[in-house]
Amino acid sequence: MAKSALRRRRGTRKSSGSFLSNAGFLPALLGACVLIVIGLAGGILMGLMAFSGTKSDFSLRKPLEPILSLSRKNSVVSHTDERSTQGANAGSAAQVVDDGIINKEDFLNHEPIIGNQGAFPYHQQLVEQDHDFFSFKPQGGGRFDEYKHGNSPYSYSPGESDALARSRRYHIKKAMQHAWTGYETYAFGKDELKPKSMKGDNGWGGIGITLVDSLDTLWLMDMKDEFYRARDWVKNHLDHNIYKAVSVFETTIRSLGGLLSAYDWSGDEVFLDQALDLGSRLFKSFNTPTGIPTSQVNLATGQSKNIAWTGNSAITAEFGTLQLEFRMLARLSGILDYKEKSEHIYKLMNDMHPAHGLYPYFIRNQGNKPEFANNKLTFGAMSDSFYEYMLKIWLQGGRKEQFYRDMYDKSMQGMFDELLQVSSPSGLVYIADKNNGVLDTKMDHLVCFMGGLLALGAYTDPLGLHSERAQRDLKTAKAITYTCYQMYARMETGISPEYIQFFPGKDFQSGRGAPHYLLRPETVESFFILYHLTGDPIYREWGWEVFQAIERYCRTAAGYGSLKNVHLPDIEPEDKMESFYLAETLKYLYLLFDPETPVDLLHKHVFNTEAHPMRIFPIMDEEGVMDLLKQ
């Protein structure tokens, strides 16, 4: 945007979005009347210019973003003041919103402020190609307070942050090149690169987990030479016939999902052949009396078992996160069983009718009927992606299988009723756990995927984006994502710990015993989805901050390593780089800054839980008959 236009928009910042209350309007109207009376043509022109200047502020607002109905009952009146936000990273003063929200009811009745606080004030200068990340210093969490309760306070025009985004995208791709080059040099074909000792590691059984998980990231970042070298390894060396019990869930989301997505983007049959081979081996885990697969399967023999530390139970997030992949496999192979048996799990779960649509994370799968094996509710570890797939199965099938959407909406209602919390004193919105009916006021970093999921659910809600339900979900998505951003911003390294705990009067503290960061993606995942759907440039600002912190504190000579303690800026990274760093974290960051992305979340693609995008497909024919295999 031209600088003069930006200055003009900043100059018109107001505390109310009402057209009539915009101070530019009345003077313009009065001026126009006077000038008409005295018949001065030049005066008329000036009046018109003043009027159109006011209008242009409204036309610059992004049309996708809904403005809530002003007639909603019990809305808390928001008021603003001109205090500047502490440490704001742009010269312009932000408006802190004191919306008086201290508990869940206040939050749920709160009507978000949308686009009426003037132009977006946080744009920074383009990033140079030789940018020095070592000088990055976290600025703390005392900024962007005006976003806390699901507000999108500033106006913006589509694409106004694109030039800046491209200058940042360059550095995300450089990061991928750095990580991939390290992997290719020291660990090609191994499961993981050890980023400090520069060695390969085959902890997953030797099925090239990092390579396969990275394929579509290489494709989307246009690293085609690297992609085809990896493809040749998949063709010539990848062998799933290994005598080892592997995790059905992890191997499905990382390897099977990676192969299917690589096939979907490139059309290269090598990936399909390997996916069909791997899928048939993993599918042996479904041979249980209940039909709920075991946690592990031996890829060579097909022997399957649950893991001992769960008390021999199956894990909800594991068996509930296989469906996108096996439905895709059914479609590509013509083997209907893949679809039916993976979907059957959801029917079984639905028939258990858990209170509030919330599922404990251990399920006994030995008898003829599944049973709940504990009473622990969470949207974090061990349950998370089960809720994610309720929505995404529905999206994958062209939004026609209402059963899944109903299940999702019921569970979200349960989450609102039972788990959603507001912290004190800051009023941060988060999703707590519940153990045997007692709230555990903590939130895993893993829960941060919920910002993106709720937003996706809102934008595709059959009741419409302007419905009360979708608006509730959208503002909650934004509020949780703000809390997740704070999980980074408030730490000494600018990087989030594994979980946070909330204490009355003290907001949150890093979770006792887990101050580490494993290079996890969930927060930047939500930044990407929220940016993609709303266009609000704030998510690019937060994403850039997170990326700089990762560059500063996690980069090693050959890749990136996890952090043992996010409170200690002088600590070295660990010798561990999970494949999801390349598959998810770097991919989501790249997509966040990629104005030219071919990814389309609303019309074309659905991401599996490991960030592998696949095309959606209508799953019923015109008559409404289920016909997965007809495509």
Reply yes or no on whether 250 is catalytic: yes
Judged by beta carbon, residue 472 or residue 516, the one nearer ligand DMJ is 516
Site map 564..593 versus ligand DMJ, x via CB under 6 A: ----------------x---x---------
Task: Report whether 610 contacts 251 (CB < 8 A).
Answer: no
User: Least distance (Å) from ligand DMJ to the CB of residue 149?
Assistant: 27
Judged by beta carbon, residue 281 or residue 392, the one nearer ligand DMJ is 392
Judged by beta carbon, residue 542 or residue 580, the one nearer ligand DMJ is 580
User: Least distance (Å) from ligand DMJ to the CB of residue 446?
Assistant: 6
- Nearest residue to 607 (alpha-carbon basis) of 379, 340, 393, 339: 393
Judged by beta carbon, residue 322 or residue 474, the one nearer ligand DMJ is 322
Reply yes or no on whether 623 is catalytic: no
Site map 379..398 versus ligand DMJ, x via CB under 6 A: ------x-------------
Please name the amino acid found at residue 43.
G
Reply yes or no on whether 572 is catalytic: no
Cα→Cα distances 623→400, 616, 619, 627, 629, Å: 12, 19, 11, 10, 15
**Phi then psi dihedrals of residue 569, to 5 deg:** -65, -20
Report CA dihedral (161, 166, 169, 170) to the nearest 10 degrees.
-150
Q: Which residues contact 410 (CB under 8 A, 6 or more apart)?
A: 356, 357
Please name the amino acid found at residue 370.
P
Positions 438 through 457 that interact with ligand DMJ (CB under 6 A): 446
Site map 506..525 versus ligand DMJ, x via CB under 6 A: --------------xx----
Task: Report whether 421 contacts 431 (CB < 8 A).
Answer: yes
609 is in an annotated binding site: yes
* Catalytic residue (choose from 111, 318, 444, 498): 498
Judged by beta carbon, residue 249 or residue 362, the one nearer ligand DMJ is 249
User: Least distance (Å) from ligand DMJ to the CB of residue 609?
Assistant: 4
Positions 455 through 484 that interact with ligand DMJ (CB under 6 A): none
User: Least distance (Å) from ligand DMJ to the CB of residue 391?
Assistant: 14
> Does residue number 609 form part of the binding site for ligand DMJ (CB under 6 A)?
yes
Q: Which residues contact 183 (CB under 8 A, 6 or more apart)?
A: 193, 210, 211, 214, 559, 582
Judged by beta carbon, residue 422 or residue 484, the one nearer ligand DMJ is 484
Query: What is the phi-psi region of residue 387: left when phi exceeds 0, alpha when psi lies from -120 to 50, beta otherwise?
Result: alpha
Cis peptide before 425 (omega within 30 of 0): yes
Q: Give the CB-nearest residue to ligand DMJ.
A: 609
- Residue among 610, 614, 619, 628 that touches ligand DMJ (CB under 6 A): 610
Residue 438, token pair as written in the block: 């007692």
* Catalytic residue (choose from 111, 160, 384, 507): 384
User: Can you name the residues that pair with 371 across neighbouring β-strands?
Assistant: 364
User: Least distance (Å) from ligand DMJ to the CB of residue 233?
Assistant: 22
Judged by beta carbon, residue 62 or residue 587, the one nearer ligand DMJ is 587
Count the site residues for ligand DMJ by CB under 6 A.
Answer: 8
CA 277, 280, 281, 282 dihedral sign is positive
- Long-range pairs, 77-86, Cβ under 8 A, ≥24: 78/110, 78/111, 78/113, 79/15, 80/15, 80/113, 80/117, 85/142, 85/143, 85/144, 85/145, 85/146, 86/140, 86/142, 86/143
Judged by beta carbon, residue 180 or residue 379, the one nearer ligand DMJ is 379
User: Least distance (Å) from ligand DMJ to the CB of residue 113?
Assistant: 32
Judged by beta carbon, residue 262 or residue 422, the one nearer ligand DMJ is 262
Residue 14, token pair as written in the block: 């107001």
User: Least distance (Å) from ligand DMJ to the CB of residue 384?
Assistant: 6
Reply yes or no on whether 522 is catalytic: yes
Helices (H), 243-307: 248-250, 257-266, 269-282
User: Least distance (Å) from ligand DMJ to the CB of residue 348?
Assistant: 21
User: Least distance (Å) from ligand DMJ to the CB of residue 151?
Assistant: 28
Packing angle between helix 209-220 and helix 257-266, nearest 10 degrees? Answer: 30
DSSP 568-601: -TTPPPPS---HHIIIIIHHHHHHHT-TT----T
* Catalytic residue (choose from 65, 146, 201, 250): 250
3-class SS string, 48-106: HHHHHHHHHHHHCCCCCCCCCCCCCCCCECCEECCCCCCCCCCCCCCCCEECCCCCHHH
Q: Which residues contact 596 (CB under 8 A, 6 or more apart)?
A: none
Packing angle between helix 468-489 and helix 522-534, nearest 10 degrees? Answer: 130
* Catalytic residue (choose from 522, 578, 584, 610): 522
Residues classed as catalytic: 250, 384, 498, 522
* Residues contributing to the annotated binding site: 609
* Residues contributing to the annotated binding site for Ca(2+): 609
Residues contributing to the site for ligand DMJ (CB under 6 A)? 385, 446, 520-521, 580, 584, 609-610
